[in-house]
Structure 1
Amino acid sequence: MNCQDYQVVVYPGREREPRAALYRIVVIGSDALSLAWVLLRASEQSVIDFTRASDERDAALNALLERKLAGVRIDRLRFVIGLDSEYITYPIELDVHDYEARANPVRRSDSELPKATDDNRETHILTTDVIAGRTRVLTSDRQARALTDVERSALGV
């Protein structure tokens, strides 16, 4: 396990004002099986509740992906919000429109996922092609869940 102490990330708020949060990155596993877990907490000066403010949560995550994890496959990342003693993990979802607008690789195959339907056409994207720093990502409340005891232990929280 490779841990960093909490550091400050500055990201744009709702009105493009500078906001700050605390983060750390924990890499668990080795080689092709490793996962990088991004843990985010509100700074002591912040009043943001990342569990309720998805736009702020997404802005902070995207800032970290661009600055600290550029080049890492998105499918090898996990995202966690810490709120007091509670830790919630959020799925990371691809912003397909941003992905295509940045001219990232798109493949045409019926077997590849994820896929999006837009204007009566299907776009298929290999998860191995989705790289941090090359596209915007979003987080989803609908599949958010509390960390398991095993995950908490592995992450040291």
Structure 2
Amino acid sequence: MIYKSAFRDIIYPAQNREPRATRYRIVLAKASRLVRAIVHLVADEPIQPESTDLPTAIDVILNRIIDGELTGVRHDCIRLVVQTGAQLTDYPITYNALELKGHGGRAPRPPGTSDQPIHIRSIDVVGGSVAFYVDHDGGRPASDVVARMLR
């Protein structure tokens, strides 16, 4: 492990647009070749007994954290781990390639033209260039190595 930040509060909108709060931190971990930023989100906190809105707001929370603290970090170097009680779930992060902006913030093609195939490498997609989404169905229990890092 390289770095473990302190927990921070984040306010997010519930399904009915009421404010809710949860806590998160960022852990930088050295993997075999890369340093990975693990966003550790705590779903069940005593200050937030109603956690039923969190699964629907994870995308909003993740993008706010990335925009605020991980802008410019490669997509393949960011992981999301959600803690619910003692369970840690590692969720894959995806993105919509159609939202990707070209250099200087311009769209790669003018609107109204036909779709053209383009090649996008995952290492070229960074925080702040596109919205990220959580693959809820792809969530798996975090590995023992990740669990030890987050404790």
TM-score bracket, shorter-length normalisation: 0.7 to 0.9
CA distance in 1, matches of 2:90, 2:13: 22
Decide which moves more: 142-151 or 63-72: 142-151
Unmatched runs of 5 consecutive residues or more in structure 1: 107-118
- 1:100 offset after TM fit, Å? 4.8
Work out the percentage of aligned pairs sharing the same amino acid. 27
User: 2:101, 2:129 within 8 Å by CA — same for their partners in 1?
Assistant: no
Superposed, 1:109-120 pairs within 5 Å as none
Alignment of 1:39 with 2:40, yes or no, is yes
RMSD across aligned positions (CA): 2.8
What code does the residue aligned with 2:51 have?
Answer: I
1:129 alignment counterpart: 124
- 1:11 offset after TM fit, Å? 3.1
Aligned length: 142
CA distance in 1, matches of 2:30, 2:84: 25
CA distance in 1, matches of 2:64, 2:16: 16
Superposed, 1:1-157 pairs within 5 Å as 1=1, 2-29=3-30, 33-42=34-43, 43-46=45-48, 47-49=50-52, 53=55, 55-100=56-101, 103=105, 121-153=116-148, 155-157=149-151
What code does the residue aligned with 1:88 have?
Answer: T
User: 2:40, 2:150 within 8 Å by CA — same for their partners in 1?
Assistant: no
CA distance in 2, matches of 1:98, 1:69: 18
SS at match of 1:128: helix
Task: Tell me the alpha carbon deviations over residues 67-126 of structure 1, each in whole angstroms, 9 at most, x when there is no partner.
Answer: 1111111111111000000000000001223325995786xxxxxxxxxxxx76433212
Unmatched runs of 5 consecutive residues or more in structure 2: 109-113
- Relative to the length of structure 1, the TM-score reads 0.76
What code does the residue aligned with 1:148 have?
Answer: S
Cα distance, 1:98–1:7 mapped onto 2, change above 3 Å: same
Cα distance, 1:78–1:69 mapped onto 2, change above 3 Å: same
- Relative to the length of structure 2, the TM-score reads 0.78
